[in-house]
Amino acid sequence: MRPIMDRRVFLRGCAASAGVLAPGFGFADSNGLRFGLTPVFLTSDLELLSRLKTYLERSTGRSVKMVTRRTYQEITSMLISRELDAAWICGYPFVANAEQLSLVAVPLWKGQPLYQSYLIASKGRSADTLAALNDDIHAFSDPDSNSGFLVTAAELETLGASPDQFFSRTFFTYGHRNVVRAVGTGLAASGSVDGYIYEVLRETEPVLVAETEIVRKSPWLGFPPIACPASLDSAPVTISLRKALAEMPGDPDGRAVLSMLRLDGFREEPAALFDPIAAMMQRVGVSRG
């Protein structure tokens, strides 16, 4: 679990260097909004991305650039260095970099700003505990993912083990959908996945989910948030984005995007919503930023 601490120190250095080596590099365009998306985003579907972009442009009155990356680390680095104005990230990197990031809004799923991590296994295993998955080949989503790594690592800590000790082999798929696919096709015997994404896939891609089963669901945790650099917390670009997200349920285009995401809306929440994630980080030896 030590690498994320090293990355956080590295990212701070990058942010400082950006200001020294290239003043103004990556800083916000007063008329634009650079919005980042990570694997927490349900899909890279072009229609969804286009409709979200169109809604944000109309609602904020700004030109919007959608930026997608494969890993949480890449997007978090871009937020800290202010190459992005805001991004939909995960609670784990948000807490890990709490000094340098601020909350913009948190999605509402089934009326609450909460979700769960699921342990899944190949269909027919009839496993009902993490202990039953001992010696599996296990698929994780991302090393900086709460639901796709940290929750399982923290639970293993209570058993006196680490992922490398407990499982015969682990690998990262860099996408929750890819975890489901890996388990369903037999590339992995079990996996750790975002419960929201799993439930949406069960509705939209039932064939993909059919060869898997849920082993256990975690306690409810803060839903992956939209964050911005702390220095932009009260900036006009952030204020306009918060307003646009909050007004989505009352706008036809906004409702269409929410429907595609299977979300109810977005609202402001206190950072304390993510304290349970901070507690898990402490359990596995990672301090808050």
Q: Is the same domain home to 107 and 8?
A: yes
Please check whether residue 288 lies inside any domain of the structure: no
Please check whether residue 131 lies inside any domain of the structure: yes
Q: Is the same domain home to 108 and 30?
A: yes
Q: Is the same domain home to 78 and 162?
A: no
- Rounded CA separation 190/122 (Å): 6
The last residue of a domain, from among 173, 191, 218: 218
Please check whether residue 258 lies inside any domain of the structure: yes
Domain of 14, CATH number, reads: 3.40.190.10
* pLDDT of res. 161: 95
Residue 233 in tokens: 């917390």
Q: Is the same domain home to 92 and 21?
A: yes
* pLDDT of res. 4: 45
Q: Considering the entire predicted model, what is its pTM?
A: 0.87
* pLDDT of res. 10: 38
The last residue of a domain, from among 200, 218, 236: 218
Please check whether residue 12 lies inside any domain of the structure: yes
Residue 108 in tokens: 């509402």
Question: What total of structural domains would you count in the chain?
Answer: 2
Q: How far is CA 15 from the centre of its chain?
A: 22
Q: Is the same domain home to 198 and 226?
A: no
Q: Is the same domain home to 106 and 20?
A: yes
Split at pLDDT 50, 70, 90, the class of 44 is low
Q: Report the mean per-residue pLDDT for the chain.
A: 88
The candidate with the shortest Cα–Cα distance to 86, out of 134, 156, 157, 32, is: 32
Q: Is the same domain home to 206 and 269?
A: no
Q: Is the same domain home to 51 and 181?
A: no
Q: Is the same domain home to 227 and 214?
A: no
The last residue of a domain, from among 199, 218, 237: 218
Please check whether residue 289 lies inside any domain of the structure: no
Buried (b) or exposed (e) across 150-163, using 16+ Cβ within 10 A? bbbbbbbbeeebeb
Model confidence at 43: pLDDT above 90: no
Q: Is the same domain home to 175 and 134?
A: yes
Span 32-49, average pLDDT: 77
**Segments forming the whole domain that contains residue 103:** 3-113+222-283
Residue 85 in tokens: 């104005």
Q: Is the same domain home to 141 and 84?
A: no
Please check whether residue 229 lies inside any domain of the structure: yes
**DSSP symbol at 112:** B
Model confidence at 75: pLDDT above 80: yes
Q: Which region, left, alpha or beta, applies to residue 227 given φ > 0 means left and ψ of -120 to 50 means alpha? A: beta
Q: Is the same domain home to 23 and 99?
A: yes
Query: Residues 139-187: pLDDT tens digits?
Result: 999 999 999 999 999 999 999 999 999 999 999 999 999 999 999 999 9
Alpha-helix residue ranges (DSSP H) falling in 134-194: 151-158, 163-166, 176-184
* pLDDT of res. 38: 80
Please check whether residue 149 lies inside any domain of the structure: yes
Q: Which residues contact 167 (CB under 8 A, 6 or more apart)?
A: 133, 134, 135, 136, 137, 138
Please check whether residue 183 lies inside any domain of the structure: yes
